[in-house]
Structure 1
């Protein structure tokens, strides 16, 4: 039974049983404390907690998930995957334990010919919470399951909660017995490898508080509305129904594994270590593809870092399998073909998905090449020192700074006959993880608990009236101070205020929040920010500038008209720039992010190389031609399907509901789904001035532009600058470029001549300095301070010059100088001196220690420095003492 068929049977079954089928939410979670949707229940939390009313009392879905906390287990077990799909059915105050159990059992054991999944009852076991007599009785007396196949477990296994005060409840899990070949008998309480969990039924009935740990909390009461939250792992059911050993061999994943096998020339099943690598590749390629399809792009932080790690682990694993050429062009196609029937958007967006993947691989290949060179040098130095172990700090530097995988470092070191200090490496990694966890905890503490908005959201959605009005009357529904509900806020306080209606735009879709004020009887509020903390609710962060604002008070919202006008200009200009980019570069140049504020726009788009000057000019001209043409801007509310049928662009990575707002500029010239505010005619934009273009990743570029009056002011400033230059240089405007180029060439020539004079002057000083040498037995030692110098090169040049004046006679030159207030010493030794044991690197370290810094280098020339210039005489003395001992 194919994976897609299993999902369809599940959704069809629950649709027949009066469940609303909802689409999967994005892998990019709306929860600010989560990078990704890590579980099927994450998008349902607002409904489960009552913050947002559920659209139906019964819901079923297939939810995409990403989980990376067990990434090291991927490929090693049958069930660990980074990307996975959860089937769920949900009841919000409707059916409870018996209904959930009946539905699960009927679907699992129903015959395939009748639309069921066809599991044999004798292969199924269940667990219930240790005190849940009701659930056990339903399984035993209603379903008829034998008592010996019902096991009771404690809080660690059969009680669900979010880890925060709020809803929780016991659960009942359904397991499949894979047979004696996979472990010992005795049920899931004995062996969770043989007995594989496939469905979890959570009975959300309790309110918990005083949480002290995963199993340490207090059940303080019952929920007023009991909910059902279930999750069935699609991949787990798929590999059981398909008769394969693990999730990597199912129909949606195996094609990638098989293509990796073909590319490597190896055989799957021949070697355990290689099999793990093949499964890692199969999992990570699919996970990367799905993350890219939801708008995530590789980067060095947040979600982008996780994606980059998955993609680089793929490349590394293929290299360990002997494949050095690019692999994403082959592996991504295999994954797309396996997944496109379930996710058609993969085919639709294939051009930009493949371009992003290929660009990231190319970047990492360069990283690997650079890292290999650095590693080769480190290994050579390790051997030269007589050690058999590469320092953990060097392995960590390669990993942390250059992105060079530790596994590859281990393999290359082993080939060179060396070990790696894993203890030191792991210690440094643990320190890094601890810092990251501390940062994450601190970040989580700064995020308000969205449950405080529950009562406010229950009063209905905030009506946004700002498309048509800049001022409107409303009522204060709620006030929060420091994340806690209060009855009022007084002058000087910063608070969140929720109104029944507002004309102030909440930040979204790249457009920043409106500026403005909220006023009422005896009070005035300056609006600092406007956000949507939960779907359907608009919250205004304000400073109370006058009086006291209280709940139920009348309120008038007033938008800063000038700021809104400029923001509308910038947002509409963004649409024009997007259309111009696509007209110039092609349809693959699609938006990957934007920021619009009064007078300014920033637009990121999918493209792998810098734009030429001519291309930027063409884009700017196309956008401004649309401004001059005075194109009409219209908006329409319609279904998502109708908008797509009309050709509207659903921007990559954005989330849309079933009803959307479509913005046309000049009809189909620019047609996008957008909730922002816009001008009525493109002529109102005035002017677009493209001021910057840069890279923001391997496959993304960024353009920046000024709009309207800000664009004009920039042009005016440039005109004034050109006028000043023409006047100062006494050159006509049309000859200014050549004149500046000529002056630059003259300056460069002059600097070269000055450098030659300075070098000659330094060379002239060398003989006199050499004559100050002190005889230390058969060794000549020169110590000289140059005073203020321009830099280390000047000191080094004199040190080597002094050394060379002694010919074959053993000599050491120690020359110092002070640059920018910091002292430095350069040591130069010749062959004869080194034969007597005088090594420049060791002497530089001694001098640096006296100066309060660090130093070192080669045996012939080395440098040390510090912060205490007054200690230079002492540093020279320390060098001399060391030479006398040599």
Structure 2
């Protein structure tokens, strides 16, 4: 350690940091001093050249190297469960990907390309790192989707960058405020702005950029601190320093005795609370589960003699301080009181069922969709579960049914659910799934469920996960699992919602009741509902077609009995106009074609009035388009019904307006224009 120019503290074991990492060692073994001349990068760069047709030489040398390096980094991050986002490690991934994609664009490639390079990376590294192959579909879909989105961002950003920097010359500085606007409004990172301007020897005013960034953060901090949350959160540090961590007893019991150690009222410490007071209570030990890992906090009661404190939520602060939120229903509660803690049994039972069902569903999805599936979030409540997972596209109905069927097979095994404490490395080596990004201590709780299925290639346990939540004793206690929906939450992340136990049974009973009610209305057996509905839809389709044909025929039949009694002549040109009540504007085009055939030569105005609004169509037969323009005439008609503009061709144009009551005035307006 160099303390001053003349004073240095020697290392206990003097050594030299050579920086001899794996890549440099590989370079030396292959007789080069350049990491990019090793076999790994040479093959990746060769694949890039093959895709782009641009040699990795001269000014394009750096771009090829950036793409190769960032492709590798991005692929491994995605394989480890990181997906591009606007915060945390996801934002780091997005910046890496977008820098590479910018260099793809510099090579003149106009379509997404990076995903096409993944097979070359897998060939080089897939044997040593099999997780690349396992996550291959997720990696390629993520790379492709991100590059499609980025090209839109790049187009907007480069246009603004060009507009704002057009007058700058070499040596000038680009406005930091504009650079921040590019970042904040268009998602255009600072390093991309710098890259784009570097070729012109223009720097970015990073001081102004940072100042704008800090100003935005200060505004956000001010808004947050004003909410009162910051003051409340700091209290828990003091409470934990004073009373210590809470002992959690909830894995083994739903009731226990405890001592009140601290009470928080309105963000401040207090000694006692009375009936009607809302507060947060900390005890020395508790059977109440504190909200974490997607599982909601327990509800229940804290009782001291005649005093009842209703717990509406339990939260976990600072890892192991359990905080019971609620209201005093009766009596008085003070710090130091010995109390009885009672968890709501029905709520806890439902939560256990849904949490265990989440584990079964997770493994079922990995069997059906592939091992790239990883948990991205969850919510476990007493009456439902929500599970977010990595997958690039929507699941079809067969995939959902198969995943549901697999999970219910394990429920029917009624096999014991076991938990044991293990070291993290030991647990992962045993095959336990750990969630990427979660923080684990030296010792973790491993939950095993079910017996391995034939689809799992000899696995002893169906599911093995690191988990601190509460679970059923046997898989049969889950009762039943039914999936209610599947949707997208963000790019590359899907969401399944499902029900277990009594909630699933009630849901299916309600569905059955609805089917029986429908069957009664249709006067068929429940098993025939699908066929009957199909027949009704087919009948409806035919009736709609017949109705449309009848309307069309009626619309062109004219108000009188004669064929041409609504056709007049204006300045030697035949003119036909109709106001059609109850006709949808989208039907005007077909009606206009028929009217032209009927009229043969002339000008036609058709106005469809539907729900008080008017759709206007003006048609001109081919022999008159050199004298009259349908667009000009339709604008005149549209103005009369409160519309603006109109568009189309010289022989046919359409417009609309909100005032269908003025349709006759619209016809008169066109008539007057032709007469003049």
User: TM-score scaled by structure 2?
Assistant: 0.72
Match of 1:813 in 2: 605
Partner of 1:642: 426
1:771/1:588 Cα in 2 relative to 1: closer, same or farther (>3 Å)? Answer: same
Q: CA deviation at 1:663?
A: 0.8
| d(CA) in 2 for partners of 1:632, 1:337 | 43
Per the alignment, residue 465 of structure 1 pairs with 249
- How far, CA to CA, are the matches of 2:626 and 2:123 in structure 1? 66
| Cα-to-partner distance string for 1:740-771 (whole Å, 9 max, x where unaligned) | 43443333333333333233222324998986
Q: Measure, in 2, the Cα distance between the counterparts of 1:250 and 1:878.
A: 78
CA–CA distance in structure 2, aligned partners of residues 605 and 553 of structure 1: 45
Secondary structure class of the residue paired with 2:138: helix
Note if contact 2:79-2:372 (Cα within 8 Å) is conserved in structure 1: no
Note the alpha carbon deviations across 1:184-209, whole angstroms, 9 max, x for none.
xxxxxxxxxxxxxxxxxxxxxxxxxx
Q: How does 1:793-872 map to 2 (within 5 A)?
A: 793-799=586-592, 801-802=594-595, 805-809=598-602, 811=603, 813=605, 815-819=607-611, 821-831=612-622, 834-836=625-627, 838-840=629-631, 856-860=646-650, 861-869=652-660
Distance, in Å, in 2 between the alignment partners of 1:461 and 1:769 is 94
Q: Any residues of structure 2 matched to 1:156-555 within 5 Å, and which?
A: 258=45, 262-263=49-50, 264-268=52-56, 270-271=58-59, 274=60, 277-278=63-64, 281=67, 284-285=70-71, 288-289=74-75, 291-293=77-79, 295-298=81-84, 311=97, 314-315=100-101, 317-323=103-109, 324=111, 326-328=113-115, 330=117, 334=121, 347=129, 349-363=131-145, 399=152, 405-406=155-156, 444=224, 448-449=229-230, 450-459=233-242, 460-480=244-264, 495-520=279-304, 524-546=308-330
Q: Separation in 2 of the partners of 1:605 and 1:366? A: 22
Q: Is 1:626 paired with 2:410?
A: yes
- Alignment gaps of 5+ in structure 1: 1-98, 120-233, 239-246, 372-398, 412-423
String of CA shifts for 1:594-643, please: whole Å, max 9, x gaps.
33222433334444555565554443333223222221112112211121
Aligned to 1:224: none
Cα 1:837–1:725, aligned 2, differ >3 Å: closer, same or farther? closer
Flag the 1:302–1:102 CA change in 2: closer, same or farther, 3 A: closer
Cα distance in 1 for residues equivalent to 2:406 and 2:341: 38
Give the structure 2 partner of residue 42 of structure 1. Answer: none
User: Per the alignment, do residues 534 and 441 of structure 1 end up closer, same or farther by CA in structure 2, a change over 3 Å counting?
Assistant: same
State whether residues 485 and 496 of structure 2, in contact with CA within 8 Å, keep that contact through their aligned partners in structure 1: yes
Deviation at 1:646?
A: 2.5
Deviation string, structure 1 residues 521-549 (Cα, Å, up to 9, x no partner): 77644434333343333334434555666
- Determine helix, strand or coil for the equivalent of 1:669: strand
For 1:550 and 1:848, locate their aligned partners in 2 and report how far apart those are by CA, in whole Å.
76
Which residue, 443, 467, 473 being the options, matches 1:680? Answer: 473
User: What SS does the corresponding residue of 1:529 show, helix, strand or coil?
Assistant: strand
Q: Indicate the RMSD between aligned Cα atoms, in angstroms.
A: 5.2
Question: What CA distance in whole angstroms lies between the structure 2 residues aligned with 1:838 and 1:655?
Answer: 72
Which 5+ residue runs of structure 2 have no aligned equivalent? Answer: 26-33, 162-177, 188-211, 452-460
CA distance, structure 2, for counterparts of residue 250 and residue 504 of structure 1 = 59
- Distance in structure 2 (CA, Å) of the matches to 1:496 and 1:697: 35
Q: 1:752 to 1:873 in 2, by over 3 A?
A: closer
Deviation at 1:575, TM superposition (A): 1.9
Change (3 A) 1:501 1:295: farther
* 1:749 alignment partner in structure 2: 542
Query: What CA deviation, in whole Å up to 9, does each residue of 1:245-288 have, x standing for no partner?
Result: xx9989999779846754434355622xx567556645754663
Residue 762 to residue 684, structure 1, CA distance change in 2 (3 Å): same
Contact persistence 1:766–1:801 (CA under 8 A): no
Change in Cα spacing, 1:710 to 1:777, as seen in structure 2 (3 Å) is same
Residue of 498, 501, 504 corresponding to 1:705: 498
* Structure 2 CA distance for aligned equivalents of residues 828 and 299 of structure 1: 52
Structure 2: distance between partners of 1:306 and 1:830: 62
DSSP 3-state at the match of 1:835: coil
Offset from partner CA, 1:673-712 (integer Å, 9 cap, x none):
1111001111211122233445556655444332111222
Contact 1:829 1:839 in 2 (8 A): yes
Structure 2 partner of 1:578: 362
CA distance in 2, matches of 1:410, 1:843: 40
Instruction: Give 1:579 deviation, angstroms.
Output: 3.2
What number of residue pairs does the alignment pair up?
607
Q: Does 1:664 align with 2:435?
A: no
Query: Do 2:48 and 2:117's aligned partners in 1 also have CA atoms closer than 8 Å?
Result: no
Match of 1:591 in 2: 375
Secondary structure, counterpart of 1:679 in structure 2 = coil
Cα pair 1:255 1:334 within 8 Å, conserved? no
> Mean Cα displacement is larger for which, 762-771 or 650-659?
762-771
Q: Is the 8 A contact 1:255 1:335 kept in 2?
A: no
SS at match of 1:568: helix
Call closer, same or farther: CA 1:699–1:118 in 2, change over 3 Å.
closer
1:870 Cα offset (Å)? 5.1
Structure 1 length normalisation: TM-score?
A: 0.57
Find the aligned partners of 1:277 and 1:883 in 2 and give their Cα distance: 65
| Larger CA deviation: 609-618 vs 468-477 | 609-618
